[in-house]
Amino acid sequence: MNGPSLNGFLWFLRNIAGIDDTILPDDAPVIQFAYNFSINTVSDLLFVIPQTPGEFLYDTAVYNLATHMVLVYGTDATNTSTQYPEFFAQVQQKYQLKAFVPGVVQSAGDESTNSTLVVPDAFKGLTIANLSQLKTPYGQTYLSIVQDLGSISLTGIA
């Protein structure tokens, strides 16, 4: 079992997420924090899937959850010479990562229009952390992997 690694996560950040070292240096504490959080959160039950798909899904879940955490907790360098001085502030604003969302909208309307969405049963068990994860593409990918294997919980699969 090879599994994910900090070097693998750095590669993912640089090549998949497009967060280069001018935005976030390799030794930024948020990288280690996000990686450790993800390793301790993503259920290793993903390895139950036979052969390579299980390892691939586990690695993918860890790296996507860790990237979500970097986007949530990343801070911009105080050095204004960086090429992207407000990268994290802009990402956090775009995805409203600092805004509380207590649930999923089921119905909305005014005098002339109404709209109702069916809330899937899987959404009814989402934690506050899961609701936050729905805000970024990386959090969504993580949730889609663990949801396919069972009900979502903070520790992966329940």
Domain ranges of the chain: 6-108+115-157
Contact assessment for residue 114 and residue 107, using Cβ atoms and an 8 Å cutoff: yes
Q: pLDDT by residue (tens digit) across 98-133?
A: 888 766 666 666 667 777 766 666 676 777 788 889
CA 85 to chain centre: 22
- Phi and psi dihedrals of 59, rounded to 5? -60, -45
The Cα 7–Cα 4 span in angstroms is 8
**Contacts for 90-98 with beta carbons within 8 Å, 24 or more apart?**
95/71, 95/135, 95/136, 96/135, 97/71, 97/72, 97/132, 97/135, 97/136
Q: What integer pLDDT is reported at residue 71 of this predicted model? A: 97
When the pLDDT of each residue in the chain is averaged and rounded to a whole number, the result is: 82
